[in-house]
Amino acid sequence: MAAPYEYEEGGYPQQTDAVGYDPNFVPDSVKSFVVHLYRHIREKNVYEIHQMYETSFQTLSERMFKETPGLLLMPLRLTLIMTMSSACFTVRCGSVTCMLDFLLLLDSGLIRGIIIAAFSRFLISVVLHGVVNMQLPNQWLWDMVDEFVYQFQAFCQYRAKMKSKTVEEIALLRQFDQAWNVYGVLNFLQALVEKSTIIQILEREKEGLEEFTATDGYDYSGGSNVLKVLGYFSMIGLLRVHCLLGDYHTGLKCLRPIDITQQGVYTSVIGSHITTIYHYGFANLMLRRYVEAIHEFNKILLYIYKTKQYHQKSPQYEQILKKNEQMYALLAIALSLCPQVKLVEETVNSQLREKYGEKMARMLRYDEEASALYDELFSYACPKFITPSAPSFEEPLVNYNQDAYRLQLKMFLYEVKQQQLLAGVRTYLKVYSTISMGKLANYMDLDEPNLRAVLMTYKHKTHAVDSDGKIISNADVDFYIDEDMVRVVESKSAKKYGDYFLRQIVKLEGIMTDIDRIKLE
């Protein structure tokens, strides 16, 4: 989840006029900022780095913008992430000016794409081949991965709109046909995962041989957290890229080393927490694992509800709210297909009713209008799917930026259509404990062979296959057929106390340890 960019829908901003700006001039405030930042990085003062990153830079950027209008038209945050990433390395070489060249070049949309490709190469060389001896805030490390994936997505969207391109743009695209190459992006993230050995670290942690989650990924014994945490966040980056490509199975596979039933480093940064659960939930929705999706959406929506006030000043606040709304839409879809309202906490449920109560009632009807509503909610809440292949430069030029989205939407609506009679069955099953096939067929206005097919479809669609190949039931109302009789079983909500107790035991132990440490005078 990236910062709220104004150009999110429209693609890249047009080149702006930066005449009158001397690229070799570095204002004192910027110099002093970089010097301070460098000092904190050298001293491994994570708290101060975080402060400068989250707050001071914003203030500085805003002031600079006032002094030199037209200079920082680029989204502040992007500039921040990139310049600071490069700054902390370049400062060591004594070159501050190159970072301001960066700013200037960044004003051009296309060049930005190319620059960021260069930036990623730079990251590869420094992080993967060099020795990094720093502690950087998780927020910053998350932003690097997040921004990287976001820029890839935005570039694919931009490139796919061929019709409106100028001759120069097309020439540039041809010349830099490897910019944001999809193999490069995936291999980059994959390389971070592998070089960081994060999967092994998490495995060792399970066996109690290593600490990672307990320290939020920071290294308090003199080492660096950079590679480890970048590798960790890259797994989430891979989940996101695969979702953008429509490959939900592989996306979830990339995330598997992270146990999302527990708190982890991914929950230490709100942006990473939301991105993880949004994509995890969406992928599960597409795989028909509705209960899993509902479960995770419910948890994160409750969390956002309780904590959003603390993020009001964050540059990501708008983005948090947007993902919040999108996840309510996805929850509405999941609950319409699988009405397990019991799984949803009261606060979340009342928010949901407020936003989508009326629409959800209409979605149960399964007519044309209902289908239009599924379409509307899906289109609003789905990820921005991409077509990763390069455009054809043959005339006539065509736009293909909507192709990926249309395919995923079509597939989803097809699934909805296959389930369209299930809501009707559900209604009858809820009011009967036993009913004969003949009678039910009569009520539903179907002949018996068709009713049988509908009942079996209900069973098939409510019984998903989980990631281990096991059959799991998503049914709210379940039944079985005994020769000619349908016998209904109301599913009881199985509350899991085990997990709750386990967590409380760990918590209590923590408190006891703290108490033991207190020395009374």
Partner 1 sequence: MVQEAINGGAEKSQLAITVEQLIAVNPYNPDILPDLENYVNEQVSSQTYNLDANLCLLRLYQFEPERMSTPIVARILVKALMAMPAPDYSLCLFLIPERVQIEEQFKTLNVLSHFLETARFRQFWDEAAKSRHIVEAVSGFEQAIRAYAVHVLSITYQKVPRTILAEAINIEGVSLDKFLEHQASNNGWVIEKGQGKGQLITLPPTEFNHPELKKNTADGVPLEHITRIFPILG
Cβ of 322: how many Cβ atoms within 10 Å?
15
* Alpha carbon distance 265, 205 (integer Å): 13
* CB of residue 150 to partner 1, shortest distance in Å: 19
Instruction: For residue 368, give the H/E element and its range.
Output: helix 368-381
* CB of residue 115 to partner 1, shortest distance in Å: 23
Nearer to partner 1, 321 or 477 (CB): 477
Nearer to partner 1, 58 or 457 (CB): 457
Comparing CA positions, the residue from 424, 433, 487 lying closest to residue 454 is 424
* CB of residue 478 to partner 1, shortest distance in Å: 5
Nearer to partner 1, 76 or 455 (CB): 455
Q: Which residues of 115-148 are buried (b: 16+ CB within 10 A; e: fewer)?
A: bbbebbebbbebbbeeebebbbbbbbbbbbbbbb
Nearer to partner 1, 440 or 454 (CB): 454
Using CB under 8 A as the criterion, which residues of the chain lie in contact with partner 1 when the complex forms? 182-183, 186-187, 190, 206, 208, 245-250, 253, 286-288, 388-389, 403, 406-408, 410-411, 415, 418, 449, 452-457, 459-461, 463-465, 469-471, 473, 478, 480-484, 489, 491, 494, 496, 498-499, 502, 505-506, 509
Nearer to partner 1, 66 or 496 (CB): 496
Comparing CA positions, the residue from 300, 305, 308 lying closest to residue 280 is 300
Instruction: For residue 202, give the H/E element and its range.
Output: helix 198-206
* CB of residue 424 to partner 1, shortest distance in Å: 14
What's the length of the chain? 521
Q: Which residues of 327-344 are buried (b: 16+ CB within 10 A; e: fewer)?
A: bbbbbbbbbbbbbbeebb
Query: Looking at the DSSP assignment, which residues form a beta bridge with residue 419?
Result: none
Nearer to partner 1, 325 or 499 (CB): 499
* CB of residue 283 to partner 1, shortest distance in Å: 10
Measured CA to CA in angstroms, residue 200 lies from 138, 165, 228 at distances of: 20, 46, 11
* Alpha carbon distance 264, 78 (integer Å): 26
Nearer to partner 1, 299 or 308 (CB): 299
Nearer to partner 1, 59 or 450 (CB): 450
Scan for tokens 């901003």, then name that residue: 13
Residue type (1 letter), 110? L
* CB of residue 287 to partner 1, shortest distance in Å: 6
* CB of residue 389 to partner 1, shortest distance in Å: 5
* CB of residue 393 to partner 1, shortest distance in Å: 13
Q: Any alpha helices (H) in 43-137, and if so which ranges?
A: 46-51, 57-67, 76-93, 97-106, 109-123
Residue 309 burial (C-beta neighbours within 10 Å; 0-12, 13-18, 19+): exposed
* CB of residue 512 to partner 1, shortest distance in Å: 9
* Alpha carbon distance 369, 358 (integer Å): 13
* Alpha carbon distance 395, 392 (integer Å): 8
Nearer to partner 1, 208 or 222 (CB): 208
* CB of residue 396 to partner 1, shortest distance in Å: 16
Nearer to partner 1, 328 or 374 (CB): 374
Alpha-carbon torsion angle 402, 404, 410, 415, nearest 10: -150
Nearer to partner 1, 31 or 460 (CB): 460
Q: Left if phi > 0, otherwise alpha if psi is -120 to 50, otherwise beta: which for 437?
A: alpha
The answer to whether the beta carbons of residues 205 and 213 sit under 8 Å apart is yes
* CB of residue 68 to partner 1, shortest distance in Å: 42
